Structure 1
Amino acid sequence: MPAALFSPQSEINEALLTSSLLGHGLPSEAEHHLWQASLSYHLDDIAESHLLEAEALAPEHASVLIGLFRFYFYKARLTEALEVAERCISKAAEVNSLPSDWRLVRADHAQFGHYEKILPRFFLFSLKGYAYLQIRLGRTEEGRLAVQKLLELDPTDKIGAKVLLRVLERMGQEDE
């Protein structure tokens, strides 16, 4: 998937997006649609139609899920982004052999403390996106639970969950 597939820069690097470790290779036709989506990002309907074509061809491939997530996220279609974040969590749990319910995942289930490990990082970033979206959509308790799970799995906070915790702590306070 092209790096330009949705600017700002991705938190998940190219190796993750194209990794055969995430199950299977991306079909070339699906990859073509991802490229076309990136080239037409500024044309919402066209970009989304390419993403949906890629999804039809490879519905559970991480590259497709991440492309859909980023598109909906950066287009401020937060409810749709949340639905895809949930699918990303499921896919990440599957490829990491984790419990399907993120609440049951423990720090010793994967190498979460090793940032260079692509598969555990995919899970952490998926959960971070989920937490952020829950907070943005006003579901602060669910967001807080996800942030707390992130900090339990990644106590050195390599992925930046404490930022979300600070947002939660400041909610309802007047800005200085």
Structure 2
Amino acid sequence: MVGSVGQAAPQSVFEDALLSNALLGGGLPDDAEDHLWQAALSYHLDDVAERHLRQAEALAPGHAAVLIGLYRFYFYKGRLSEALGIAKLCLEKASRENNLVPDWREVAAADAPFGDYEEILPRFFLFTLKGYAYLQMRLGNLEEGRAAVLKLIELDSTDKIGAKVLLGVLDRMGHDDD
């Protein structure tokens, strides 16, 4: 079952590093940062929180912190289709920031230092693709999810980001657990 994929989101420690990293858009305007804080404080009020997120987006369009805030909000609210839309925007941003071809399917391991976990931009691409794969799986788009997982394994041959866990879930689907 797709629901058995679980509820784990892409790694928050990684996300926290992205938020402060100048390579991914630099400093967030104070007003946008304030809206992100207000969104977090009003998380239980969906309309209010989303309005703050959208105001932050208007002030800092395409900023990693805003995109991650929107992604988290939609993901944890169970609005997975909307989270997938944000994941696609993040993939576009990660491709641009890494000077990669726009289509993740055409990215090759030699295109960026994907094996160097200290390199934040390639890691941003990998974690974004992992989130995209996960959401595709949760939404029942298993072939797209599998293709993204296989690309992750190709790019990250030592599996530092844990794509093989997702592949294992896909491989077990439809089999009885003993």
Structure 2 length normalisation: TM-score?
0.90
Per the alignment, residue 58 of structure 2 pairs with 56
Letter in 1 for 2:108: R
Structure 1 length normalisation: TM-score?
0.91
* Alpha-carbon distance between aligned partners in 1 of 2:127 and 2:43, rounded to the nearest angstrom: 22
Q: Judging changes above 3 Å, is the alpha-carbon distance between structure 1 residues 67 and 28 closer, same or farther for their aligned structure 2 residues?
A: same
Identity within the alignment, %: 68
Instruction: Flag the structure with more relative contact order, 1 or 2, with Cα contacts below 8 A and sequence separation at least 6.
Output: 2
Per the alignment, residue 92 of structure 1 pairs with 94
Gaps (5+ residues) in structure 1?
A: 1-6
Gaps (5+ residues) in structure 2?
A: 1-8
Matched residue SS, 2:115: coil
Per the alignment, residue 4 of structure 1 pairs with none
Per the alignment, residue 18 of structure 1 pairs with 20
Tell me if 1:30 matches 2:32.
Answer: yes
List structure 1 segments (4+ residues) > 6 angstroms apart after TM superposition. Answer: none
* Residues 50-129 of structure 1: pairs in structure 2 closer than 5 A: 50-129=52-131
* Alpha-carbon distance between aligned partners in 2 of 1:101 and 1:24, rounded to the nearest angstrom: 25
* Alpha-carbon distance between aligned partners in 2 of 1:175 and 1:51, rounded to the nearest angstrom: 41
What per-residue deviation string (whole Å, max 9, x for no partner) do you get for residues 118-156 of structure 1? 111110011000000111111100000000000000011
Per the alignment, residue 3 of structure 1 pairs with none
What per-residue deviation string (whole Å, max 9, x for no partner) do you get for residues 76-113 of structure 1? 11000000000000001111111110011111111111
